[in-house]
Amino acid sequence: MSQITLNAPALFNLSGRVAFVTGAGSGIGQRIALGLAQCGADVACLDRRTDGGLAETLDVIAQTGRKAIALAADVTDGAALDDAVARAEADLGPLGIAVNAAGIANANPAEEMGEDQYQTLMDINMKGVFLSCQAEARAMLKHGRGSIINIASMSGVIVNRGLMQVHYNASKAGVIHMSKSMAMEWVDRGIRVNSISPGYTATPMNTRPEMVHQTKEFERQTPMQRMASVDEMVGPAVFLASDASSYCTGVDLLVDGGFCCW
């Protein structure tokens, strides 16, 4: 080996970076926002309401010594996202990292699903990710640098046995391919776009009391025999956000306890 110039641990250091996280008031988005701060980033935390978990997100980030701001916007509103990114840059500095975790899930047999249920989910899970990436990239393209991470799902790769959620599965397949498509549009302008596809993860989305039997089934079906904790989404997100993944773009990183192997 010739001269060693690479400081490997420093690859994961996010000091001096500014991150923008949607869905930062709960679950995966909330934990990733904190994880980015723990690695040194200042974080703009967006959710549709500021009166929910966002206050808690800001509190825990404050304990890391990093800066955080709360932004209220609906990811189906492109103009509101443009404004939110502008606020983030004005308060924290040039945007370098974005994690798009806002999303919803629900279920209904395909033959019974109303158009409204289908469209509302698609608007949030797919159009919302597109509009978020668009607003974030408009800022990042000006700086010639950035990493965007979209939270998709293993449901974009497999069909969850027993869950009738055709719209959700289709939305997540859409997020994976949309991420690859945007990765290629911006590949020569300094912006990387990747997705993370979690398996069953213990968040408010699927730990409601009425889901107790379903979560036992999720655990049984998963090769690791358990759901993921939100903590286990942090390492993959920090990796994709940081210089440790400088040659990765258009990747869908499955974080599923082995689910998609079987």
Active centre residues (catalytic): 168
Nearer to ligand NAP, 40 or 256 (CB): 256
Contact 70, 58 (CB under 8 A): yes
Please state the closest distance from residue 127 (CB atom) to ligand NAP, in A.
10
Please state the closest distance from residue 123 (CB atom) to ligand NAP, in A.
8
- As a whole number of angstroms, the distance between CA 137 and CA 147 comes to 9
Nearer to ligand NAP, 64 or 76 (CB): 76
Please state the closest distance from residue 122 (CB atom) to ligand NAP, in A.
12
Nearer to ligand NAP, 22 or 147 (CB): 22
Q: What is the number of the residue whose Cβ is closest to ligand NAP?
A: 27
Please state the closest distance from residue 237 (CB atom) to ligand NAP, in A.
11
Percent helix, strand and coil across the chain, each rounded to 5?
Answer: 50, 15, 35
Nearer to ligand NAP, 102 or 193 (CB): 102
Strands (E) located in the chain: 18-22, 42-47, 68-72, 97-100, 146-151, 191-198, 252-255
Q: Which residues bind ligand NAP (CB under 6 A)?
A: 22-23, 25-29, 47-49, 74-76, 101-105, 124, 128, 151, 153, 198, 200-201, 203-206
CB burial string 173-211: b at 16+ within 10 A, e below: bbbbebbbebbeebeeeebbbbbbbbbbbbbebeeeeee
